[in-house]
Chain A
């Protein structure tokens, strides 16, 4: 395991203040605090070369988890081993082995062209000149950065900046890549470029990637495995496909009819998710879908029939809503 977290826990103490002048004065003389649970006793392991996605709503604890694994935050309890190091005592040797890319905070020097940050990172990470030249040429080619290298960062589009951020983070050839919301605010094309690049980078170098994202497409396109986290607790650890089977053991059957069909006729076959006079979507048990499809075709005027899994967003929504008994393995 290149990353191992055991009972990792992070609590914050937050000052509580009542509104108004009286509240402000009271907080000066008698401050009150409240303990916020950001991450609670999370245990998991990640193998070298895996791409693992952290999924969870805002404030779930995803970013806190990544910052703890990168050694930025000290845990309240628990331990972790990352690339063979304790993240909080590993020092410079540990920090040379990973890269951290934060979607909403940049490391590029704002007033200078991106290549100046590349050169700075070359010095900071003590990368030899031939290695630097080779990696920059490769990264520039893969991310198509030829036209932006000479422009000041402040003149770049958000997509161009994120591509440069990634390139700057990879100059030292890290074994682990922590990506926190890498496609935040990017258009569809830029998101796809970033996703393709990250997958390709892992395939070529064998690096391990741990990413958080609000965009389900990032996770479905990239992650071999997902860790679903909410209120600081790990709710699920496994493949996305297996999640659908486990959380929603149903298939979705979309029907188009050759004439109008009454609701009562359709309801006999499963749970109706949507219905129009000539269309309907049903959910039927996964293991009975073949039999139900046969009956639908023979008993109703079906012009078209499609079977699919429920959308992953919906499945994960059920996990967050506590609709199922899915727990961390």
Chain B
């Protein structure tokens, strides 16, 4: 715990040096959901689309913006650099698995970015009733319980992707491919129920919707307590387990393959 606090402290102090960069990242993070919202807002002007009215879209994409910040993971870029440029060396010489530094840094950043996003949403809700969520703390608690495994899935998948740099110099290209797929399969471009049934069915057995769309649907009340929620939570736990297993295998094998370049 003391180690996590120390690592998070460093993360916060470094972020303070890059205040402007954080604002830019936040704006960029908000841009994509807002653009999607703008498009669907126009499309839904003539009436509901697949059961979604304009206000439903507004709530969905604001919730997406918050869950995106809460589950955000960028570690592939760091891990890839650590491995390729030899920055992994001193981390491997410390009595602390490098994944803990990545987790602490991730949590330190999210604590700020998610709080800011929630604040922006709250202020917007004052002036724009369409984005208001019904006051249902029990539902928010369910959403919170779905966000935690979503954070784990997204972090682990990104971290494992970064560890591929033990073998290839194209780890970040694989990450870009994963992001491209997630645009459709995680509910970023549109709620999953609006996609063709075959795409929705394929997404349902992959990890993508469980790191974004599922917690968003719980937060907006599309999925409430019941079999559908439990099924989603079950899939989430399954994917956490799969990614954890992959992490162990890739980490152990990657360490053996490591060339420790660059000093």
Chain A residues packing against B (C-beta within 8 Å): 12, 63-64, 67, 70-74, 91-93, 95-96, 98-100, 102-105, 107, 109, 111-112, 116, 119-120, 122-126, 152, 180-181
Contacts and interface: CB of A to CB of B under 8 A. Distances in A.
A70 B91 CA distance: 12
Interface string B232-263: 00000000000000000000000110111011
Which of B13, B95, B96, B256 has its CB near the most chain A CB atoms (within 10 A)?
B95
B135 interface: no
Contact of B263 (A95, A116, A180): A180
Nearest to B14: A111
A70 B2 CA distance: 25
Interface string B79-120: 000000011011011111000000000000000000000000
A12 B256 CA distance: 12
Given A109-B14, A111-B17, A180-B263, A123 B6 contact: yes
A105 B260 contact: no
Contacts of B194: none
A107 B90 contact: yes
B10 interface: yes
B259 A116 contact: no
Interface of A is mostly: mixed
B251 to A, nearest CB: 13
10 contacts: A64-B260, A74-B258, A96-B95, A100-B89, A100-B90, A102-B86, A112-B13, A120-B6, A123-B2, A126-B2
B256 A74 contact: yes
Which of B3, B17, B263 has its CB near the most chain A CB atoms (within 10 A)?
B263
B96 A92 contact: yes
Nearest to B5: A123
A124 B9 CA distance: 13
B205 to A, nearest CB: 32
A105 B262 contact: yes
Contacts of A93: 95
Interface string B6-31: 11011001100110000000000000
A68 B6 CA distance: 29
B89 A67 contact: yes
Nearest to B100: A124
Contacts of A96: 95
Contact of B92 (A63, A71, A99, A181): A71
A72 B90 CA distance: 9
Interface of B: 2-3, 5-7, 9-10, 13-14, 17-18, 86-87, 89-90, 92-96, 255-256, 258-260, 262-263
Nearest to B91: A107
Interface of B is mostly: helix
A178 to B, nearest CB: 8
A111 B17 CA distance: 7
Given A72-B89, A98-B93, A112 B10 contact: yes
A72 B260 contact: yes
Given A92-B96, A105-B263, A124 B89 contact: no
A25 to B, nearest CB: 17
Contact of A72 (B2, B87, B258): B258
Nearest to A100: B93
Nearest to A92: B95
A304 to B, nearest CB: 46
Contacts of A112: 10, 13-14, 17
B167 to A, nearest CB: 11
A126 B90 CA distance: 17
B96 to A, nearest CB: 5
A70 B93 contact: yes
B260 A103 contact: no
Given A96-B95, A124-B3, A102 B14 contact: no
Q: Across chains A and B, which 8 residue pairs bring their CB atoms closest together, nearest first?
A: A123-B6, A92-B95, A104-B263, A100-B93, A95-B95, A107-B90, A105-B263, A111-B17
A105 B90 contact: yes
Nearest to A95: B95
Which of A99, A107, A123 has its CB near the most chain B CB atoms (within 10 A)?
A123
A125 B95 contact: yes
B257 to A, nearest CB: 8
B14 to A, nearest CB: 5
A284 B5 CA distance: 67
Contacts of B92: 70-72
B93 A116 contact: no
A169 to B, nearest CB: 9
Given A74-B255, A111-B14, A124 B263 contact: no
Contacts of A119: 6, 9
Nearest to B255: A74
Contacts of B94: 95, 124-125
Given A72-B92, A104-B263, 13 more contacts: A67-B89, A70-B93, A71-B92, A72-B260, A74-B258, A92-B96, A96-B95, A105-B86, A109-B14, A116-B10, A122-B6, A123-B3, A181-B263
